[in-house]
Every structure is written in structure tokens, then in C-alpha cells.
Amino acid sequence: MTKDKLIIPESCYKVIMEHGRSNLPYESCGLVSGKGRHVQTVWKLVNEIKSDRRYFVGEKVIERTLEQIDKKKEKVIAIYHSHPATEPIPSSYDIVNHPNDELVMMIISYKSDKPQLKCYRVHNKTYNECLFLIDPNS
């Protein structure tokens, strides 16, 4: 059980949370890369549609980001996006648009005063929560 946990360095966690906050009231999104279950880098992307319910990033930007991840010899671990005003639960739209079941879906909710991060594994159009820990020493 524990060995399936994602390990997120506190510095990366802060980048994701700040990115989401700075884009309110719109959704923010990005990629998270690293090795195995160890997160190492956060790639902030620009949500090309200003929406509080949707995010979109063009293929070219994704391709360029994937190249940079490859150069660092890392792999994409997760895709994150924020929910500015709703719970951190995948919407049916999120599920349908999740590009790859190998990737973790991270959602950061700003519904309450204390932002909340949740991670999910998506499989066959359903999802399970995936546990993570925030590592203060990296």
C-alpha cells in the first residue's frame, strides 16, 4: 500500500498550490514529472481558455514540454489542474479527457480557505484515490 504512494517534494507541492492560486478564478493546469513514484519537476502550463470549469493546452506546448521532460530523463507522472470553486473530485469531463490511464490525475481545490490536493488513478472511466506524501526534505 505505502509503496504505491506518490512522493511529492514540499517545494513541488508549493509550486502547484501557488500556481493554482495565482490563476483564480480560472483553472490552472500542468504536468508533473519524475522517476518512478518520486515527483521531481512541476511544469506549469498556460490554460488557453479562461474558464473556471475547463482547461486546455495546445498540442505544440505539450510536445515541447514532453521534450524538455525527456531531456531531463524524467517521465510524466501526473497531470494537475485546479478546481477554483468545487470539490477536488474528478468531473465526468475530467475522466473522459484524461489522456492516459498510466498518469495520475491531480486536482487542487480552492473551494475552502484551505486548498486541498487529491490524486487519482483513472481506469476504465472510473477512478480511485491515490495516496501521496509530501516530503519536507526534498
CB of 86 to Zn ion, least distance (A): 8
Task: Provide, rounded to whole angstroms, the least separation between the CB of residue 92 and Zn ion.
Answer: 10
**Phi, psi (deg, nearest 5) at residue 29:** -155, 165
In the numeric block, which cell numbers belong to residue 138?
526534498
Q: Give the residue with the Cβ less far from Zn ion, 4 or 93.
A: 93
Positive/negative CA dihedral, 122, 125, 128, 134: positive
Contact segment (CB under 5 A) with Zn ion among 34-42, 67-75, 90-98, 113-121 equals: 90-98
Q: Is 116 left (phi over 0), alpha (psi -120 to 50) or beta?
A: beta
What's the min distance (Å) between Cβ of 122 and Zn ion?
12
Residue nearest to Zn ion as judged by C-beta position: 94
Calpha distance 54→26 (Å, rounded):
8
Compute the distance between CA of residue 14 and CA of residue 22 in angstroms, rounded to an integer.
Answer: 12
> Taking the CA atoms of the chain, what radius of gyration do you get in angstroms?
14
Return the DSSP state at 7: E
**Nearest residue (CB) to Zn ion, 95 versus 134:** 95
Query: Per rule CB under 5 A, is residue 94 in the interface with Zn ion?
Result: yes
Position 110 contacts Zn ion (CB under 5 A): no
Question: Is the CB of 8 or the CB of 108 nearer to Zn ion?
Answer: 108
CB of 91 to Zn ion, least distance (A): 5
The span of 11-19, 36-44, 71-79, 87-95 binding Zn ion (CB under 5 A) equals: 87-95
Q: Give the footprint of Zn ion on this chain (CB under 5 A).
A: 91, 94
